[in-house]
Amino acid sequence: MKKESLKFLSIVLVLCMLMVISWQYEHFSSSTLKETPYETVKESHESDISDEAETPLSSDEIKFDTSNNDHISDIPELYEDNGDSYVTMYLTVRRGNETEGTDHSWREVNNHSVYYYEENDIDRYKIEGLLQVGDESGPLPGLLGYGKTVPNATVQIRGQSSSTSSQKNYKIEIKPNQGSWNGQTTIALNKHVYDGLRFRNKLGFDLLSGIDELMSLRTTFVHLYVNDLTDEESDGFRDYGLYTQVEQLNKTALKTHGLDKTGHLYKVNYFEFYRYEDAIKLATDPDYDVKKFETYLEIKGSTDHTKLIDMLNDVNDYTIPIEDVIEKHFDMENLTYWLAFNLLTGNADTQSRNVYLYSAQNEKTWYLYPWDLDGMFRFDENQLMNISDFNSWQQGISNYWGNVLFRRCLQSSKFREQLDFAVNDLKDYLSKERLSGMISKYRKVTEHFAYSEPDVTYMKTTKEAYDEIASNLPNLVDTYYGFYKDSLQKPMPFFIGTPTIQNGKINVSWDASYDLQEEDLSYTARLSRNPDGTDVVEEYTGKWNGATFDLHSSGQYFIKVSVSDESGNTQDAFDIYDAGENGKYYGVICFYINNDGSISSGRINNDETEE
């Protein structure tokens, strides 16, 4: 009875406590609602709901990312090689067969430059090869070619002007079903004979791999040994020194880098975005000539050129604002960062070549894909070696004024604003600390090989000069940045016409220059007997883009034309007179007055690329 009484009293006590708690809660809620604004209560309530569970939003509340989702991006995980080591490759070469064009000796393959094949209109000689990968002790198990005794590849020289050098570049193509190296079946080995540091190409691609707005390619230092079985006197593998292996931009590379391997890919041979109607045609056109087409653009992807032609038509249609052309056919970020990277690294040989054009098959946007970067950061080395390349208008944005796409872009204030942002962004990225750290790693490999046999025989710089050039390289970003800023203030370059004889006088005219600040311009033209402007015969200064000179005695003459704005900034004409070992003279043309009073042009086309 006592337990039941206690149990009853406990129940009553609990009920009473619950009633008190309920009354206090209702009183508190009522007073809060009276004292708190409705909006605050609503926000608090919605916050509580969001914390407990996700609920659908109305169409007015949904937010979308409006950034350019089509912009291509690279795969950072691909870039594991930091340049402080190298791979050893062993190449055994032997004669093949006539049907496949490999019935040649190693000497024959190496004896001719690319110009020999072009002059004779024949394919480059190839040879059978067995490529094996390992370390300095020999080929290693699990790597390409280990344990093989028969050829797994073909070998030929590659490059343009570099093919005239004693040390050649090689293209090694792995045969079908014979494996690959790092997922690559085309192995390009570059000696970089004109690069006094032997690491500039790798430096360039390694830098690109850290720039989100641009694409890059994988590179590796390679120590190559060659065993020539076509030479009866050969007694085994011969040391060929250090090379830089650069991933070939082909369908395999596109897939590796997350791009469309069925897309459009063109390697720019000489191309300034003009329409080139006599060569750039659809493959279905009866007058289509693939060889003529590829003098401008080498076809590496789709053979449907419709999208390319549509883009070129719009680029060359001045009734369409360039901003609209960019929005329709290009990626503003890609264009500005590509140009900014080349400006800040002094990679000037890019105004008409050394780049690829890429576009996914079902996308409208074209991208510039960097290629061949061993010409970057050359300013100090050129000065030290008395090389007069890439001076005058080739410094800064004026270097790209001859390219119709970039000429139109640079006339747009919107594009220049975006370019300036990209330049300053990359200037921070290309810090002295970053560059110094990368260079110190490369030098552990390159410097040893550069001053050891066989490479030391062909090195054009002393070891002391090598150290000076490499140590000062990080400072060149500031130098190139200065060129960029100065070029924005200068008038743009222009072409000089061929002199003619009219009414017993020499007449010469030139295209009008362009000034971004829209200042008044004046021209100076000097007729002289020497390319450096000494021994001046006559001179013209004025606002007209043409001059008349007396017809002088027969002989060789030169005309130099420059332009100045109101602020005193000057610019040379595009024309360059190349005097060989005596250097290049900017804004100068050469011509001859013949004995009969007629004129012959002395213009020379010096367009070449090292690669």
Give the start-to-end residue ranges of the domains of the chain: 76-252, 258-488, 491-601
How many whole angstroms separate alpha carbon 609 and alpha carbon 607? 7
Q: Which amino acid is at 435?
A: L
Short-list 91, 108, 101, CA closest to 157: 108
Query: Which run of H or of E encompasses 88?
Result: strand 87-94
pLDDT of residue 604: 56
Q: Exposed (0-12), middle (13-18) or buried (19+): which is 228, by Cβ within 10 Å? A: buried
Q: What DSSP designation does 266 have?
A: E
For the segment 512-562, what is each residue's pLDDT rounded down to a tens digit?
999 999 999 999 999 999 999 999 999 999 999 999 999 999 999 999 999
Q: Profile the chain (611 residues) by mean pLDDT over runs of 10 residues.
A: 40 46 42 36 36 40 44 94 95 96 96 90 95 98 97 93 88 97 96 95 98 98 98 92 97 97 97 98 97 97 98 98 98 98 98 97 97 96 91 98 98 98 98 98 98 96 96 98 98 97 96 98 98 95 97 96 98 96 94 94 57 54
How many whole angstroms separate alpha carbon 113 and alpha carbon 508? 39
How many whole angstroms separate alpha carbon 345 and alpha carbon 201? 12
How many whole angstroms separate alpha carbon 324 and alpha carbon 383? 42
pLDDT of residue 164: 82
pLDDT of residue 62: 41
pLDDT of residue 160: 75
pLDDT of residue 217: 98
pLDDT of residue 48: 38
pLDDT of residue 235: 87
Short-list 109, 88, 135, 126, CA closest to 243: 88
3-state secondary structure of 41: helix
For the segment 330-363, what is each residue's pLDDT rounded down to a tens digit?
999 999 999 999 999 999 999 999 999 999 999 9
Rg (CA), the chain: 33
Q: Determine the distance from the C-alpha atom of residue 485 to the mean position of all C-alpha atoms in its chain, rounded to a whole number.
A: 21
CATH class of 491-601: mainly beta
Report CA dihedral (64, 66, 71, 77) to the nearest 10 degrees. -40
Q: What DSSP designation does 160 have?
A: S
Collect all residues with Cβ–Cβ distance below 8 Å to 224 and sequence separation of at least 6. 88, 89, 91, 189, 240, 241, 242, 243
- 393 and 574 Cβ atoms separated by less than 8 Å: yes
How many whole angstroms separate alpha carbon 566 and alpha carbon 570? 10
Strands (E), 233-313: 238-247, 264-268, 297-299
Instruction: Please tell me whether the peptide bond between 454 and the residue prior to it is cis, using omega within 30 degrees of 0.
Output: yes
How many whole angstroms separate alpha carbon 204 and alpha carbon 371? 9
How many whole angstroms separate alpha carbon 203 and alpha carbon 434? 11
3-state secondary structure 367-390: EEEECCCCCCCCHHHHHHCCCCCC
Q: Write out the two tokens for 220.
A: 């590796």
- 515 and 411 Cβ atoms separated by less than 8 Å: no
- 449 and 443 Cβ atoms separated by less than 8 Å: no
How many whole angstroms separate alpha carbon 588 and alpha carbon 483? 21
Instruction: Tell me how crowded residue 226 is: count the other CB atoms within 10 A of its CB.
Output: 20
Short-list 126, 131, 113, 150, CA closest to 222: 131
Distance (Å) of CA 384 to CA 378, 387, 459, 463: 10, 8, 14, 13
Collect all residues with Cβ–Cβ distance below 8 Å to 405 and sequence separation of at least 6. 272, 273, 315
As beta bridge partners, residue 158 has: 169
How many whole angstroms separate alpha carbon 308 and alpha carbon 296? 13
Short-list 166, 342, 382, 356, CA closest to 269: 356
Short-list 398, 331, 418, CA closest to 72: 331
- 403 and 273 Cβ atoms separated by less than 8 Å: yes
- Give the predicted TM-score (pTM) of the model: 0.86
How many whole angstroms separate alpha carbon 114 and alpha carbon 297? 18
Q: Write out the two tokens for 56.
A: 């659908």
